[in-house]
């Protein structure tokens, strides 16, 4: 993709973040209790959350002390989706990988739905919040609750695997969201990243991809085709507890044994 003034500024800012990496302590205002969330929801959603808490047990009682209200909502939505769409019957071995993990707040859902080690990789790990803490500081902190899981600051292309399950929630398949997230154009390389991910999933292992909107879902289909990956479209994700306004779609791909 060609450079423009916006791209040059994003490149400078990205380099600065990766130079000035020191973080303030990873403090955030956590939800405090499940009731803070359920008080904002309708009965069907409250019932779904109660069922998930009963099914997955004690660790979910701790989530409101580890996650903000919004993160709590996203995490319980994710465990609902994983539970219904990905095989969650056994522990993962080799480890699981979450690509583009932001600040690691998917980990509570991942580690409960599919227990075992999870690696969370994020290329823009040194992005800061208003508290001056970085995504990496938050990701590292949350990973401590789920040993031996770890937060990795870097590109997925640095990782060699193998991984038993890979989750990839909202990959950049369209350049506009990548720019909106403040990344330079040179990091827009959807086919190269997908080819790399394909190679680090262990034979028989699973890749679960979630796209935002039908347009990205269609682009994702073309990417799978271009790489000769016969992924199964799960289609539009239905959930009574979705916190998102825009529709989400998903895919499952199993690495040939």
Nearest to 133 by CA among 170, 173, 104, 166: 104
CA distances from residue 172 to 32, 67, 177 in whole angstroms, order as listed? 33, 25, 7
Place of tokens 């450079």: 3
**Binding-residue pattern over the window 70 to 109 for ligand SAM, x denoting contact by CB under 6 A:** -----------------------------xx-x-------
Q: What is the C-alpha to C-alpha distance for residues 140 and 155, in angstroms, rounded to an integer?
A: 16
- CB count within 10 Å of CB 237 equals 18
At 167 the three-state DSSP class reads strand
Instruction: Identify which of residues 56 and 172 has a Cβ nearer to ligand SAM in the complex.
Output: 172
User: Taking CB under 6 A as the criterion, which residues in 192-251 touch ligand SAM?
Assistant: 193
Q: Which stretch binds ligand SAM (CB under 6 A): 20-28, 115-123, 213-221, 249-257?
A: 115-123
**Residue 141 interacts with ligand SAM (CB under 6 A): yes or no:** no
Contact in structure between 193 and 156 (CB atoms under 8 Å)? yes
Among 7, 80, 119, 124, binds ligand SAM (CB under 6 A): 124
Which residue of this chain has its Cβ atom nearest to ligand SAM in the complex? Answer: 100
Among 68, 155, 239, 242, binds ligand SAM (CB under 6 A): 155
- CB count within 10 Å of CB 30 equals 16
Residue 87: Cβ-neighbour burial (10 angstroms; 0-12, 13-18, 19+): middle
Q: Which stretch binds ligand SAM (CB under 6 A): 36-44, 51-59, 116-124, 139-147?
A: 116-124
Among 76, 137, 169, 194, binds ligand SAM (CB under 6 A): 169
Q: Shortest distance, CB of residue 124 to ligand SAM, whole angstroms?
A: 4
Q: Which stretch binds ligand SAM (CB under 6 A): 20-28, 87-95, 149-157, 227-235?
A: 149-157
- Both tokens of 61, joined, read 């009682």
Q: Shortest distance, CB of residue 127 to ligand SAM, whole angstroms?
A: 8
Q: Which stretch binds ligand SAM (CB under 6 A): 13-21, 88-96, 177-185, 225-233?
A: 177-185
- DSSP assignment of 172-231 equals --SHHHHHHTT--GGG--HHHHHHHHHHHEEEEEEEEEEEEHHHHHHHHHHHHHHTT--P
Q: What is the C-alpha to C-alpha distance for residues 6 and 31, in angstroms, rounded to an integer?
A: 36
**Binding-residue pattern over the window 19 to 58 for ligand SAM, x denoting contact by CB under 6 A:** ----------------------------------------
Q: Shortest distance, CB of residue 170 to ligand SAM, whole angstroms?
A: 4
Residues that bind ligand SAM (CB under 6 A): 99-100, 102, 121-124, 155-157, 169-170, 172, 177, 181, 183, 187, 193
């Amino acid at each position: 993709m060609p450079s423009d003034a916006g791209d040059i500024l994003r490149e400078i800012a990205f380099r600065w973040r990766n130079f000035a990496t020191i973080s303030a302590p990873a403090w955030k205002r956590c939800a405090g209790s499940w009731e803070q969330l359920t008080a904002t929801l309708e009965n069907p959603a409250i019932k779904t959350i109660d069922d998930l808490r009963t099914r997955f047990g004690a660790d979910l009682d701790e989530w409101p002390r580890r996650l903000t209200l919004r993160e709590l909502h996203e995490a319980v939505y994710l465990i609902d989706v994983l539970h219904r769409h990905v095989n969650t019957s056994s522990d993962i071995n080799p480890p699981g990988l979450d690509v583009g993990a932001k600040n690691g707040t998917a980990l509570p859902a991942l580690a409960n739905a599919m227990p075992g080690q999870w690696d969370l990789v994020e290329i823009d790990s040194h992005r800061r919040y208003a508290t001056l803490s970085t995504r990496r500081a938050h990701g590292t902190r949350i990973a401590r609750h789920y040993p031996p899981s770890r937060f990795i600051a870097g590109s997925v292309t640095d990782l060699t695997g193998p991984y038993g399950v890979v989750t990839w929630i909202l990959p950049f398949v369209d350049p506009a969201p990548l720019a909106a997230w403040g990344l330079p154009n040179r990091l827009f390389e959807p086919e190269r990243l997908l080819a790399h991910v394909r190679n680090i999933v262990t034979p028989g292992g699973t890749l679960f991809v979630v796209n935002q909107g039908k347009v990205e879902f269609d682009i994702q289909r073309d990417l799978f085709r271009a790489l000769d990956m016969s992924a199964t479209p799960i289609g539009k994700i239905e959930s009574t507890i979705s916190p998102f306004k825009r529709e989400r779609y998903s895919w499952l791909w199993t690495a040939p044994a």
